[in-house]
Structure 1
Amino acid sequence: MKEHATRLALVKLLADGQFHSGEALGESLGISRSAISKHIKVLQLWGLDLFRIQGKGYCVSTPIELLDCDKILSQVKCPQLELIPIIDSTNQYLLDRFGLLPKGAVCLAEYQQAGRGRRGRQWLSPFGSNLYLSMYWRLDAGMAAAMGLSLIVGVAIAETLQSLGANEVRVKWPNDLYYKDKKLAGILVEMTGQAGDAAHLVIGMGLNIDMPDTEGSDIGQAWTNLSQACDKLPERNHLAAELIDSLQKTLITYEQVGLDGFVERWNRIDNFLNRPVKLLIGQRVIEGIARGIDKQGALLLETESGIEPYIGGEISLRGC
């Protein structure tokens, strides 16, 4: 983290969205203008939307509300909250420490160098424009009880975003959030444990808040930002606090009622409910009408053979 200290201090100076000359920035940080220029290039590689105008200096395209543990903890109780601005992966950080963590511990980051999504895919994680959050949870009922956990997490996040003004946010089976048929957020649940013992879970989410179009140019599917789904964006620290609170309450409820207690809530906000879809399972493609989920979290797909449950695979709108 020490090697990033100067760059993070530079971000704080630039976060107000005003122009700052290289000379003034250098004086504030005790380094040369040429060193400022080198650090600026690294910040741009992190995905920070920065530009420079001759005679005026450097500026971020929009002001940045940096994450702040004190602000978050003033709004929600959390047994352990760590903010690591620059990290490889918030999920991996907690997985590496699960034996030392209290239930409900959270890790946040401003930028992930090796963020990952489902099936080992890369999760694009530019600095300061999204939210990268992971929570550790111990499930005493064991690994079998974790079946469908990404579904209930999706419900929790979607309902929270709806309560904050993003009324049209929906869930996509099994682990995404959508807005107007575009991906808004992804969920990655990873676990470790032994048969007959408690399951140690790390629940990660990446939520697009205001990611620049240039940063998302390499994403291989239609995507969107929370800024498009809300008339007024919530503050990032308030958003983080609300999501942490919702995840804690939802996981406690899940321990008590299981997935059965979430089926109706899922089906109410299912982006693909009663729509023609195709399900991809490896090289196999199955077309049908999505009919929600069952009590085991399986996708219910109506085909010429009737309604059948499917556990694995990915869905998309038919024709997409």
Structure 2
Amino acid sequence: MPLLCEITIVAASSVLSPLGFALLRRLSDGQLHSGEALAAATGVTRARVSQILRASENAGFTLERVRGVGYRLLDPVPFLDRDAIVAALGNAASRLKIEVADSVDSTSTELLRRAARQAVDRQVLVAEWQTAGRGRRGRSWTAVAGGSLTFSLGWRFEQGAGFLAGLSLAVGVALGRALDAAGFKDVQLKWPNDLVYRHCKIGGILIEISGDALGPALAVIGVGLNVRLPPKARHDIAQPVTDLASIDRERALDRNRLL
């Protein structure tokens, strides 16, 4: 008797919950996991597991349900993992404080909030999901859980804001060089803060500076990269966009190494 299966897009209301992320991380190996095993691992009922997975509809994951067997992701991708990021950075990791969050409103907004009560110099905050990602001039930034790389870095400068006018350009050039070294050729910087590939946007930079006019100053450097955008996300963005997966369709992309 053939197995009955159902393929849906994994959803969450407007925000993936921590429990939703916990379930998706367990499904990220691409193997079938029974509802019973998922429930035991997360401390909820099987009915709750089914409810959470059915409730996730804007995250862009393709989920298969095989009746009587379990669930799996048809297009599994490595989730962000702090240990993997630290390992990829090697000795450079010791100079940074790295934090991985499942969900925040905006990595830059969160670092700016923290800066009001503590030092955020050399702090890196990377998130799977941003509920209110921000771009230049108040524009929103569309991020896809599992398919985007969104992070912010706090950096203290002894100079004031007036001496940092070229920071956005410097960051853009550095990102372009990093992508080139990673094998993604011909990514260009479009002034003042866009990364483009063949006239399509692939990433963006947002820099916010605070501090004394003559220094010191704090720069919160926000970066968003499209790694793997599903068709719905492309449709919702009001400009031509592309992603790293489209540049190199043969490569298995690991955002932990890319960061």
TM over 0.5: yes
- Structure 2 residue runs without a partner (length 5+): 1-15
The verdict on how the C-alpha distance between 1:215 and 1:175 changes in structure 2, with shifts beyond 3 A counting, is same
Q: Provide the residue aligned with 1:182 in structure 2.
A: 200
Shift of 1:52: 3.3
Letter in 2 for 1:75: A
Correspondences of 1:1-320 after superposition (within 5 Å): 4-45=17-58, 47-55=59-67, 57-76=70-89, 77=93, 78-98=95-115, 100-230=118-248, 231-240=250-259
Secondary structure of 1:191's aligned partner: strand
What is the rounded CA distance, in whole Å, between the counterparts of 1:151 and 1:22 in structure 2?
49
CA offset at residue 4 of structure 1? 3.9
Query: Over residues 251-309 of structure 1, what are the superposed CA-to-partner deviations in whole Å (9 max), with x where a residue is unaligned?
Result: xxxxxxxxxxxxxxxxxxxxxxxxxxxxxxxxxxxxxxxxxxxxxxxxxxxxxxxxxxx
- SS of 1:85 mapped into structure 2: strand
Query: How many matched pairs?
Result: 237
Structure-2 separation of matches of 1:71 and 1:54:
31
Where do 4+ consecutive residues of structure 1 move more than 6 Å?
none
Q: Aligned-residue CA RMSD in angstroms? A: 2.0
What TM-score do you get using the length of structure 1 for normalisation? 0.69
1:93-133 superposed Cα distances (whole Å, 9 cap, x missing partner): 11112252353211010001111111111111121111011
Give the % identical residues.
38
C-alpha distance in 2 between matches for 1:202 and 1:42 = 34
Change (3 A) 1:64 1:79: same
Q: Is the 8 A contact 2:111 2:120 kept in 1?
A: no
Q: Distance in 2 between matches of 1:216 and 1:38?
A: 27
Does structure 2 retain, via aligned residues, the 8 Å contact 1:226–1:233?
no
Q: Which amino acid aligns with 1:237?
A: N
Q: Secondary structure at the match of 2:140?
A: coil
Asked if the contact 2:62/2:75 (under 8 Å) is kept, the reply is: no
User: Displacement of 1:51 after TM fit?
Assistant: 2.6
After superposition, give the CA deviation of every residue in 1:43-78 in whole Å (9 maximum; x if it has no partner): 333x14133345254332311211111221223223
- Once the two structures are superposed, what CA deviation does each residue of 1:155-177 show, in whole Å capped at 9, x if it has no partner? 11111111111112111111011
Where structure 1 has 5 or more consecutive residues not aligned to the other structure, the ranges are 241-320
Residues in 2 aligned to 1:69 and 1:32: alpha-carbon distance in whole angstroms: 29
* Cα displacement (A) at 1:201: 0.6
**What is the distance in 1 between the residues matched to 2:183 and 2:137?**
31
